[in-house]
Amino acid sequence: MVKGKIFEKYVEIRIADDGPGIPEDKRDIVFKPFERLAAGRGSGLGLAIVKMIMNLHNGEVKIENNVPKGTMFVLRFPIN
């Protein structure tokens, strides 16, 4: 699921999955290059690249729970 919304100072895009989720104590780790939560899956670069792109655009990315299960990735781009 992908949703977007325009606020006064930023545009927000929310991307949700229905996977196992990311524990709160691991949410900072997944944005570091080559860090992975599951062995043998992926290179560990995807979210690090997303974070770098968001920083270059003065935006932010964060992770929330996607109730009842999964992860919600929230991207916020400034309007200016």
Per-residue pLDDT tens digits for 53-67: 999 999 999 999 998
Return the CATH number at 48: 3.30.565.10
How far apart (Å, rounded) are the C-alpha atoms in residues 61 and 3?
A: 15
Distance CA 65, CA 73 (A): 9
> pTM of the entire structure?
0.87
- CA distances from residue 30 to 4, 21, 57 in whole angstroms, order as listed: 23, 12, 20
Range of the domain at 42: 2-78
pLDDT number for residue 40: 72
If one counts the domains in the chain, the total is 1
Q: What average pLDDT does range 27-54 have in this prediction? A: 90
DSSP per-residue letters across 42-61: S-S-HHHHHHHHHHHTT-EE
* Averaged pLDDT, 24-52: 90
The per-residue pLDDT for 12 is: 97
Beta sheet of 10-16, edge-to-edge order: 2-6, 10-16, 71-78, 60-65
Sorting pLDDT into bands at 50, 70 and 90, what band is 37? confident
Q: pLDDT for 4-15, tens place per residue?
A: 999 999 999 999
CB contact at 8 A, 15 and 1: yes
